[in-house]
A and B are shown apart, each in its own frame.
Chain A
Amino acid sequence: MMGVKETLRAALLSFVILAVLLGAWHLATLPKEQAAASDDEYAKLMGKGAKKSDGFPTPAQLGETIVRQLSDPFYDNGPNDKGIGIQLAHSLARVGAGFALAMLVAVPLGFLIGMSPLLYRAFDPFIQVLKPISPLAWMPIALYTIKDSSVSGVFVIFICSLWPTLINTAYGVGAVRRDWLNVARTLEVRPLRKAFQVILPAAAPTILTGMRISIGIAWLVIVAAEMLVGGTGIGYFVWNEWNNLNLTNVIFAILVIGVVGMALDILCGRLQTLVTYVE
């Protein structure tokens, strides 16, 4: 019962924090009081309404935008006006493709590197040099060689999600308890069975941690990548709305990016609990 009570209190506190933030935002964006009527006329002459603000959207405007955008997320009025659902789908498809390709390389390669101290040391300098490179730095090379902006985006996601999973897989495989390997040895377990039935389940929690970090980074990078390559996607949406000077839409997009990122992380977290074991 204590747990439920604690949860309720935490939720209540969250709401208070949200209310304070929205309240502060609302107060900060209240329309400025205008002193003289002549100014109103002047304003009308200048093509502006009676309401005047410094241009930053209010919470109410954001609310309207959220309702409007979510009520019709999949409309398509040409290249510069697509619903948020379509943009998200493009981004998720790129992240999904790049991440999947990265996993196909990182997990088996990490396995090899983790099993062999020789390979570990041979690959280490490459990993150490390539890992800290901002994935966007690869973009020109990707654009030049691949010659397709959308595929280049996928490549950037591939490159950035490779390293955490590769490193974690190698570490997890290398750190499998000697006792378990000795059990496998005394039972004369064949290498393939040992890999799949001893090492893989033993290293799975570490591998999943790597994948969770990878997908997190991929979601960070996709926004920037799509701002660069343009065309479609949530990153392009943000940049396009900035060019339209529609800050409300930009804030809305930021919210959506956060929520989707959280959802991806929760999904990975669920997978992680599935393979986690208690020693």
Chain B
Amino acid sequence: MSFLEVQGLKQVFPARGASPETVVFDDLHFGIEKGEFVCIIGHSGCGKTTILNAIAGLEKPTDGVVIMDNREVSGPSLDRGVVFQGHALMPWLTVMSNVAFAVRSRRPDWRADQVRAHCQQFIDMVGLTGAEHKKPSELSGGMKQRVGIARAFSIQPKMLLLDEPFGALDALTRGTIQDELVRIVRATHQTVFMITHDVDEAILLADKILLMSNGPRAVVAEIVENTMPADRTRMTMHHDPQYYRIRNHLVDFLVNRSRLYAGGDARAAYDSKHPPVVRPGLEAERAAPVPPTSEPPRAAVINLRHAN
């Protein structure tokens, strides 16, 4: 049994006025191992955030269970830290106080200086040393998201849930924070579940990438194992031939295959309890014919929202 098990998850949004009842997804199964970084990719409306909220315990799914560390998730818990899409910092608190708010929830018995030292450690970790006494409104979008990450890490949860944390950031800032996240996660061996729209972000960060088909009635169509070396970096990973194979596989899925699961052959052949696990990086025959040198790295970035 995996560290985190999602079993038979189902979400139905009831009929509202003229719009009929929507089954976002039905009978969803997947697992996450301890220390694993799992990204979930899919088009808008496939229920990614709903899955994350169910794992976080923020929303109760219509059916199915989430089991973490052999215990059923019945509500939000300090065991699962969440980094919200819109950073969700409290604007009346300073950076330090925002992190301290979380730390005090985790350690109500700590003295003020203990809390401060602990917070400082995590503020330093995300590279915000010197900005401790600034209010969120004085920070850039990237810095705010760093505070959100520091806050989530500071409670040292068993698992971290990130809801498209870099979606609102510009490409340059996103790259820097991705690098930091890679560094922190590799140092802490944190178990992470993350929603993203960015294929390159998923390849850089994830050990496993869940591909969601289009909603309604979305499924985890495939589980892509990232076979690239664990020490890959944003600067060099596009020199690895595996990178293009994985990337082409992901883009191909999102552009062409993600809508095939609504019915027909793909649906009929699909076993929801055991989504196919694929390793496109190791399939030489699927290798992309694009030599790494012919294309500058930034041009390879495709934002899915535009591709869609």
Give residues in A with beta carbon < 8 Å to B. 177, 179-180, 182-183, 185-189, 197-198, 201-202, 204, 275, 277-279
Q: Do the beta carbons of B137 and A187 come within 8 Å of each other?
A: no
Q: Do the beta carbons of B91 and A277 come within 8 Å of each other?
A: yes
For the complex of A and B, 3 pairs with smallest distance between CB atoms: A179-B88, A278-B137, A187-B105
User: Assuming the A-B contacts A186-B56, A278-B135, are A201 and B92 also in contact, with contact meaning beta carbons closer than 8 angstroms in the complex?
Assistant: yes
> Contact mask B75-116 → A, CB, 8 Å, 1/0?
111101110101010111100000001100110000000000
Give residues in B with beta carbon < 8 Å to A. 56-58, 75-78, 80-82, 84, 86, 88, 90-93, 101-102, 105-106, 135-137, 155
Q: Which residue of B lies closest to A188 (CB)?
A: B78
Closest CB in chain B relative to A142 CB, distance in Å: 39
Q: Do the beta carbons of B86 and A179 come within 8 Å of each other?
A: yes
Q: Do the beta carbons of B77 and A188 come within 8 Å of each other?
A: yes
How many Cβ-Cβ contacts under 8 Å join chain A to chain B? 59
Closest CB in chain A relative to B106 CB, distance in Å: 7
Please, how many angstroms separate the alpha-carbon atoms of A277 and B135 in the complex? 9
Q: Do the beta carbons of A187 and B91 come within 8 Å of each other?
A: no
Closest CB in chain B relative to A95 CB, distance in Å: 29
Closest CB in chain B relative to A102 CB, distance in Å: 25
Apart from A182-B88, A186-B80, A188-B76, list 14 A-B contacts with CB within 8 A.
A179-B86, A180-B88, A180-B90, A182-B58, A185-B76, A187-B78, A187-B102, A188-B78, A277-B91, A277-B92, A278-B91, A279-B91, A279-B136, A279-B137
The SS class assigned to the B binding surface is loop
Closest CB in chain B relative to A80 CB, distance in Å: 51
Residues of A within 8 A of B101 (CB): 187, 197
Q: Do the beta carbons of B90 and A198 come within 8 Å of each other?
A: yes
Q: Do the beta carbons of A182 and B82 come within 8 Å of each other?
A: yes
Residues of B within 8 A of A183 (CB): 82, 84, 88, 90, 102
Q: Do the beta carbons of B137 and A186 come within 8 Å of each other?
A: no
Residues of A within 8 A of B76 (CB): 182, 185-188
User: Assuming the A-B contacts A187-B105, A187-B106, are A202 and B78 also in contact, with contact meaning beta carbons closer than 8 angstroms in the complex?
Assistant: no
Residues of B within 8 A of A189 (CB): 105
Residues of A within 8 A of B91 (CB): 277-279
User: Assuming the A-B contacts A277-B91, A277-B92, A278-B91, are A187 and B155 also in contact, with contact meaning beta carbons closer than 8 angstroms in the complex?
Assistant: yes
Closest CB in chain A relative to B10 CB, distance in Å: 22
Please, how many angstroms separate the alpha-carbon atoms of A274 and B106 in the complex? 29
Closest CB in chain B relative to A278 CB, distance in Å: 4
- The answer, among B80, B84, B92, B93, for a CB contact under 8 Å with A179, is B84
Please, how many angstroms separate the alpha-carbon atoms of A74 and B135 in the complex? 48
**11 CB < 8 A contacts A-B:** A180-B90, A182-B58, A182-B76, A185-B75, A186-B56, A186-B58, A187-B101, A187-B102, A189-B105, A201-B93, A279-B136
Q: Do the beta carbons of B105 and A188 come within 8 Å of each other?
A: yes
Q: Which residue of B lies closest to A187 (CB)?
A: B105
Please, how many angstroms separate the alpha-carbon atoms of A263 and B58 in the complex? 47
Q: Do the beta carbons of A186 and B81 come within 8 Å of each other?
A: yes
- The answer, among B77, B90, B155, for a CB contact under 8 Å with A201, is B90
Closest CB in chain B relative to A187 CB, distance in Å: 4
Please, how many angstroms separate the alpha-carbon atoms of A278 and B137 in the complex? 6
Please, how many angstroms separate the alpha-carbon atoms of A187 and B80 in the complex? 9
Q: Do the beta carbons of B77 and A186 come within 8 Å of each other?
A: yes
Please, how many angstroms separate the alpha-carbon atoms of A180 and B88 in the complex? 6
Please, how many angstroms separate the alpha-carbon atoms of A204 and B92 in the complex? 10
Please, how many angstroms separate the alpha-carbon atoms of A180 and B91 in the complex? 10
Q: Which residue of B lies closest to A185 (CB)?
A: B76
Closest CB in chain B relative to A266 CB, distance in Å: 23
Please, how many angstroms separate the alpha-carbon atoms of A275 and B92 in the complex? 8
Residues of A within 8 A of B80 (CB): 186
Residues of A within 8 A of B88 (CB): 177, 179-180, 182-183
Q: Which residue of B lies closest to A177 (CB)?
A: B88
Residues of A within 8 A of B92 (CB): 201-202, 204, 275, 277
Closest CB in chain B relative to A90 CB, distance in Å: 38
Closest CB in chain A relative to B212 CB, distance in Å: 22
